[in-house]
């Protein structure tokens, strides 16, 4: 086999990323020389939907000139904290709080329309992880909830909406990242449940989505001891055994990023790439620096040359990718990318749906008599954002949203670790706004304790990250959960507090020891 043929055998099974808002010289070379399978776009590449459409058009033009198949261009457009196009839709747990498959499907359809207009035919969503671990540091509000049936119902609805718009849904993170207590970007999580539990919880949403025609999956860099000590991405019993042979899934399997510590620190990115293909994966996400990308290409080239990876095995994955491209009706070589002039209009279409989801999602978990709607008088809004929150002052505050509703409110923003005396002289309502991905930090818990001791029932707690923040604050008598810091969610919370809208959301997860899933004060 010639060098060119070998490079073009492997290249279509690899996706990379790059920096900047125009194609880098390196990615242009990989497309021309290796017939690269695709690219993954991140915030560093995206300014707007219209600009993204122009970028994707430039990338597809490079593939056309190289005589290569159309690129698979993918993004993580989950909604909420993980979205690349600036659409402003609430995330999965907010949808879970609505309990509405109709809203989830419409969200998928409108997200799909925006992605297709932008030239991104593959969405690395929905998240099908069942968030059964309150301390999960990386999934949390990215999950629809803790009930496998709810996750399956809403995840399948979101995927249907994407399909209606001509975008491939990618269920992740197979076979489940929801009970992990470590972030796989930083370490290898290990799940020790027996097969019976995995079938009932972790696997259920994936099996349901596959039955409904899900075209693609992304693997989890999580070890399941019922199968192996290896991460699922590298585990033949999970991918080739259970997924391919038992479940008869013949769609495309993407790896999660090979730059993540859960695989990179275990075996190295190059070895992980080879093991993933041997295990049954189809597409390698070689994301990160050029050295890592080259390590992946070199390792797979060597494995092919030495006969460890057969040509027939790689052609099997290429056939799956060809089928996916055909199903997506990607532009052929004679066509250019999407029209950037039409792409920006899709952002405006999403806004009314975002407001509708937020209004149905924000949950009044508990309230003291006479506290919601807020009584007359001054309001102090203290935002105590954790390390994972946006930079202080960078976005709209709940106080701003209240002022827009003609409720006088004063804002205080506390940086992580910053001291606060609890505002002992404040005579009106004090609203403490927290944000965390897993458990609240000791700093946040201490702030809440001090505020509750000082203000008693005049304190209102608003958890804008995971609702599990409320578990550390049982003494606070009035609490809301928004499931995110997106402006539409803060606005919906402000409307509930101001009495302009009734609370309608219900918790899609239990608050341990306090509130079961499904709880919520509604009227």
Residue with tokens 């069942």: 130
SS (H, E, C) 219-239: ECCCEECCCCCCEHHHCHHHH
Dihedral pair phi/psi, residue 188, rounded to 5° = -95, 110
The helix (run of H) or strand (run of E) holding residue 163 is: helix 148-164
* The total number of residues written for the chain in this structure: 523
The verdict on whether 173 is a catalytic residue reads: no
Please state, in angstroms and as integers, the Cα–Cα distance from residue 382 to each residue in 439, 445, 457, following that order. Answer: 19, 14, 16
Question: Is 43 among the catalytic positions?
Answer: no
Centroid of chain to Cα 138: 9
CB 344 within 8 A of CB 48: yes
Identify the helix (H) or strand (E) that includes residue 3: helix 3-10
**Token pair belonging to 250:** 């013949």
Please name the helix (run of DSSP H) or strand (run of DSSP E) that holds residue 9, with its range, or none.
helix 3-10
17: closest CA among 47, 46, 38? 38
Residue 507, token pair as written in the block = 């918790």
Is 273:284 a contact under the CB 8 Å cutoff? yes
Q: Which residues, listed in sequence order, are joined to residue 73 by a DSSP beta bridge?
A: 39
Tell me the three state secondary structure of residue 423: coil
> Which residue is catalytic, options 129, 179, 183, 256?
256
The DSSP secondary-structure symbol of 246 reads I
DSSP string for residues in 96-113: HHHT-HHHHHHHHHHHHH
Could you give the dihedral angle defined by the CA atoms of residues 152, 157, 162 and 168, in that order, rounded to the nearest 10 degrees? 30
- In sequence order, the β-bridge partners of residue 15 are 38, 285
How is 248-280 classified by DSSP, letter by letter?
---SEEEPPPTTSHHHHHHH-HHHHHHHHHHHT
- Sheet strand arrangement including 478-481: 363-366, 478-481, 459-463, 429-435, 379-385, 409-414
Residue 135: closest CA among 512, 390, 462: 512
From the candidates 185, 187, 193, 250, give the one annotated as an active-site residue: 185
Q: Catalytic residue positions? A: 185, 256
């Amino acid at each position: 086999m010639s060098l060119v043929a070998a490079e073009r055998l492997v290249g279509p099974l690899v996706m990379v990323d790059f920096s900047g808002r125009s194609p880098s010289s390196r990615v242009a070379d990989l497309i021309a020389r290796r017939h690269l399978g695709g690219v993954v776009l991140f915030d560093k590449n995206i300014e707007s939907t219209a600009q993204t459409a122009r970028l994707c058009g430039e990338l597809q033009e490079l593939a056309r000139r190289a005589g290569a198949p159309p690129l698979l261009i993918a993004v993580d457009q989950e909604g909420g904290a993980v979205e690349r196009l600036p659409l402003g839709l609430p995330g999965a747990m907010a949808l879970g709080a609505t309990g509405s498959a109709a809203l989830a499907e419409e969200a998928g359809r409108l997200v799909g329309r925006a992605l297709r207009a932008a030239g991104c035919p593959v969405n690395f969503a929905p998240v099908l992880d069942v968030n059964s671990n309150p301390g999960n540091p990386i999934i949390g509000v990215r999950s629809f909830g803790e009930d496998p049936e709810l996750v399956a119902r809403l995840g399948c609805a979101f995927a249907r909406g994407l399909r209606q718009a001509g975008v491939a849904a990618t269920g992740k993170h197979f076979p489940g990242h929801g009970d992990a207590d470590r972030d796989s970007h930083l370490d290898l999580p290990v799940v020790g449940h027996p097969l019976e539990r995995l079938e009932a919880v972790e696997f259920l949403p994936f099996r349901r989505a596959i039955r409904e025609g899900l075209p693609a999956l992304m693997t989890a860099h999580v070890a399941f001891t019922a199968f192996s000590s290896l991460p699922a991405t590298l585990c033949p019993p999970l991918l080739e055994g259970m997924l391919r042979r038992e479940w008869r899934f013949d769609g495309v399997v993407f790896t999660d990023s090979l730059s993540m510590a859960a695989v990179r620190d275990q075996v190295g990115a190059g070895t992980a790439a080879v093991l993933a293909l041997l295990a049954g994966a189809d597409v390698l996400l070689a994301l990160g620096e050029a050295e890592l990308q080259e390590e992946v290409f070199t390792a797979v080239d060597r494995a092919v040359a030495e006969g460890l990876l057969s040509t027939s095995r790689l052609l099997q994955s290429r056939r799956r990718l060809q089928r996916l491209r055909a199903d997506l009706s990607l532009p052929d070589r004679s066509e250019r990318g999407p029209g950037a002039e039409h792409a920006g209009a899709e952002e405006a279409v999403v806004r009314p749906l975002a407001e509708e989801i937020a209004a149905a999602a924000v949950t009044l978990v508990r309230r003291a008599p006479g506290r919601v709607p807020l009584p007359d008088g001054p309001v102090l809004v203290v935002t105590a954002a954790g390390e994972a929150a946006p930079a202080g002052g960078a976005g709209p505050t709940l106080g701003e949203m209240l002022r827009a509703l003609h409720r006088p409110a004063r804002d205080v923003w506390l940086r992580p670790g910053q001291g606060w005396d609890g505002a002992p002289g404040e005579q009106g309502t004090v609203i403490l706004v927290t944000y965390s991905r897993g458990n609240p930090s000791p700093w946040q818990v201490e702030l809440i304790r001090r505020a509750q001791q000082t203000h008693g029932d005049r304190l209102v707690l608003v958890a804008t990250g995971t609702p599990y923040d409320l578990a550390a604050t049982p003494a606070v008598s009035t609490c809301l959960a928004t499931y995110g810091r997106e402006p539409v969610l803060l606005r919906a919370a402000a409307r509930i507090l101001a009495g302009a809208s009734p609370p309608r959301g219900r918790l899609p997860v239990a608050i341990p020891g306090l509130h079961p899933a499904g709880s919520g004060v509604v009227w």
